């Protein structure tokens, strides 16, 4: 077990080494815009006159910042980047067409279960 005096001395040395870097980090954070300046998906969709789904699908093109690492991480957008994107457009951005379901191949159909009909309060197999 480490004596308390050595723990205190070690903690003081670590704090002395970290102090300059912490001061740099605090200075960088104080120079950046506040988090409230970032736009949400809904705000970007409103500004560009597109759906929220379009904004999510094109997040990388719009310069999104992901808040987290998960698959459903929230997205935030820099207003200046959105304005540059919007001013570079000659006309409103149209949503992509919905994808069609793939066709089922001929000769490959599943056998269906027979439909039962209700007669007199009881189910009976369809004829």
Query: What does the pLDDT look like over 18-43, one tens digit per residue?
Result: 998 888 888 877 766 554 588 999 99
CA distance 50 to 116: 47
Q: Which residues contact 51 (CB under 8 A, 6 or more apart)?
A: 45, 95
What local confidence, expressed as pLDDT, does residue 44 receive? Answer: 93
Residue ranges covered by each domain of the chain = 1-32, 33-89
What local confidence, expressed as pLDDT, does residue 51 receive? Answer: 94
pTM metric for this prediction: 0.43
List pLDDT tens digits, range 71-127. 888 999 998 888 888 887 534 444 455 566 666 666 666 677 777 777 776 766 665
Phi, psi dihedrals of residue 102, rounded to the nearest 5°: -65, 145
Whether the Cβ atoms of residue 126 and residue 114 lie closer than 8 Å to each other: yes
Class of domain 33-89: mainly alpha
Tell me the Cα Rg of the chain.
Answer: 30
What local confidence, expressed as pLDDT, does residue 13 receive? Answer: 92
Q: Which residues contact 61 (CB under 8 A, 6 or more apart)?
A: 85
What local confidence, expressed as pLDDT, does residue 91 receive? Answer: 42
By C-alpha distance, which of 39, 57, 40 is closest to 94?
57
List pLDDT tens digits, range 57-80. 999 899 899 988 888 889 999 988
């Amino acid at each position: 077990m480490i004596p308390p005096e050595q723990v205190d001395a070690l903690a003081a040395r670590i704090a002395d080494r970290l102090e300059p870097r912490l001061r740099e980090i605090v200075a960088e954070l104080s120079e950046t815009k506040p988090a409230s300046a970032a736009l949400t998906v809904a705000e970007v969709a409103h500004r560009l006159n597109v759906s929220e789904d379009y904004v999510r699908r094109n997040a990388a093109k719009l310069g999104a910042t992901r808040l987290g690492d998960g698959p459903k991480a929230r997205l935030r957008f820099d207003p200046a980047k959105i304005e540059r994107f919007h001013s570079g457009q000659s006309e409103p951005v149209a949503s992509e067409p919905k994808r069609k379901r793939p066709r089922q191949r001929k000769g490959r159909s599943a056998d269906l279960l027979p439909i039962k009909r209700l007669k007199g309060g009881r189910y009976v197999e369809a004829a």
